[in-house]
Amino acid sequence: MALRIEHSVPLSTLSTFRMGGVAKEVVTIFSEDDLVTLFGLLKTDRKWFVLGGGSNVIFPDVDCDALIIRVGIEAITVDESDTGTVVTAGAGASWDALVAFTVTAGLSGLEALSAIPGSVGATPIQNVGAYGCEVKDTIVSVRAFDTVQKEFVEFSNTECQFAYRDSVFKHVANRYIITAVSYKLTKEKPKSPQYPGVSEYFEKRGIAEPDLYDIRSAIIAIRGTKLPDPAHIASVGSFFKNPIIEKSQAELLKEKYPTLAVFPVSDSLSKVGAGSLIDTMGWKGKSFGSISIYPHNALVLVNEGGATKTELQKVVDAITFTVKEKYGIELSVEPEFVSEELLT
């Protein structure tokens, strides 16, 4: 299939937070050859930005001269060998469609990451994670087009330098365009996520040994109670990362604020649920003009319609300032605020 080019596309229609000006041109590539053709034609000084499902980006309120590139490669292949099963998916495939495919194929490894919006190609960028599982646990390699060297390269799991909501790709922005990701999965009995909500779900239904379908159903049901559906409510999911602090500081805070969610990370470090920090300030459900805090989850900011970047930044600053003042903890935002400089 040839490249697809669209003109004058509002970025609010391409991002789940529904902000942004109008993109002059959006190009979708459907093969790796298309990408080579595109970069052969692109003037060296033409800015570009690669976009997946737009569920982890906040666009500024400016029109966009940069070329928006979308990857439409969606093929999924399964490679069985003596060392295990490797599933490779095109970067443009829907992440949740891939998870559903693996569950149907009886392959374990991705089921706890069910119902996360977006594309396969974006999953390595912030090392997508949920319910104690991260894509770094299964990714074997990431294939990408190096727009500087104009060649395809393969990153091994180690080369991706995965960390909590982080990878090498976040630190070399606008160089690599991911075209495919390979995940090593297993046919062994799945391990159910050891999370209170998940165990309760199975206990209630009398499921002692959940299979892949049970786990996927549980995750979808639990997420549905806590996270808004991007088709109806404009958000980027969790707005803040869960801060990692000294275990001793976490213990003191937990004594003072017993409802804080605290999880062990190591012998000396603990992770604090950022949502529970905002929740104990009593901010759940509050409205600040066009931005509100989701009534079912204090970690989610919602664009009620027509929000501007200035308005959003004010709310983000108010939350981070208040959390810092009350708990002495620095919050950092999870989605990418795309800079005006990148787009104009």
Only one of the segments 51-59, 96-104, 192-200, 270-278 lies at the binding site for ligand FAD (rule: CB under 6 A); that segment is 51-59
Only one of the segments 25-33, 80-88, 110-118, 286-294 lies at the binding site for ligand FAD (rule: CB under 6 A); that segment is 110-118
Fill in the per-residue mask, 191 to 220: x = in contact with ligand FAD (CB under 6 A), - = not in contact. Answer: ------------------------------
The total number of residues written for the chain in this structure: 344
Q: What is Dmax (Cα atoms) for the chain?
A: 61
Instruction: Locate the DSSP E strands across 201-339.
Output: 244-246, 262-264, 269-272, 287-288, 291-293, 301-303, 336-337
Q: Name the 3-class secondary structure at 116.
A: coil
Fill in the per-residue mask, 172 to 191: x = in contact with ligand FAD (CB under 6 A), - = not in contact. Answer: ----xxx-------------
94 carries an active-site annotation: no
The C-alpha atoms of residue 313 and residue 333 are separated, in whole angstroms, by 11
Phi-psi region of 115 (alpha: psi -120 to 50; beta: other; left: phi over 0): left
| 122 sits near ligand FAD (criterion: CB under 6 A) | yes
| 118 sits near ligand FAD (criterion: CB under 6 A) | yes
Closest to ligand FAD by CB, 16 vs 242, is 16
Interface with ligand FAD (CB under 6 A), residue from 12, 16, 28, 280: 16
| Token pair in block for residue 146 | 């190096």
290 carries an active-site annotation: no
| 117 sits near ligand FAD (criterion: CB under 6 A) | yes
| Token pair in block for residue 221 | 């049901």
- The one-letter amino acid at 307: A
Only one of the segments 45-53, 59-67, 201-209, 262-270 lies at the binding site for ligand FAD (rule: CB under 6 A); that segment is 45-53
- Token look-up 């459900």 returns 285
Q: Name the 3-class secondary structure at 282.
A: coil
| 125 sits near ligand FAD (criterion: CB under 6 A) | yes
| 123 sits near ligand FAD (criterion: CB under 6 A) | yes
The interface with ligand FAD within residues 271-310 (CB under 6 A) comprises: none
165 carries an active-site annotation: yes
- Token look-up 């509002």 returns 10
- Least distance (Å) between residue 2 CB and ligand FAD: 19
Interface with ligand FAD (CB under 6 A), residue from 38, 71, 99, 319: 71
**How many residues belong to the site for ligand FAD (CB under 6 A)?**
33
The interface with ligand FAD within residues 320-339 (CB under 6 A) comprises: 336
Closest to ligand FAD by CB, 253 vs 338, is 338
- Least distance (Å) between residue 123 CB and ligand FAD: 5
| 116 sits near ligand FAD (criterion: CB under 6 A) | yes
Only one of the segments 38-46, 60-68, 147-155, 224-232 lies at the binding site for ligand FAD (rule: CB under 6 A); that segment is 224-232
Q: What's the sign of the alpha-carbon dihedral 74, 58, 5, 153?
A: negative
User: Which of 165, 192, 217, 235 is labelled catalytic?
Assistant: 165
Instruction: Locate the DSSP E strands across 255-297.
Output: 262-264, 269-272, 287-288, 291-293
Identify any residues that bridge with 144 across adjacent strands, giving them in sequence order: 153, 178
CA distances in angstroms from 230 to 152, 160, 278, listed in the order given: 33, 28, 22
Q: Check: CB of residue 122 under 8 Å from CB of residue 116.
A: no
**Among candidates 186, 185, 183, 195, which has minimal Cα distance to 130?**
195
User: Residue 243 carries which DSSP code?
Assistant: P
Other CB atoms within 10 A of residue 223 CB: 17
Interface with ligand FAD (CB under 6 A), residue from 27, 50, 93, 107: 50
Closest to ligand FAD by CB, 35 vs 253, is 35
Catalytic positions, written as ranges: 165, 238, 334
Binding site residues, ligand FAD, CB under 6 A: 16, 50-57, 71, 91, 116-119, 121-123, 125-126, 128-130, 176-178, 227-228, 230, 235-237, 336
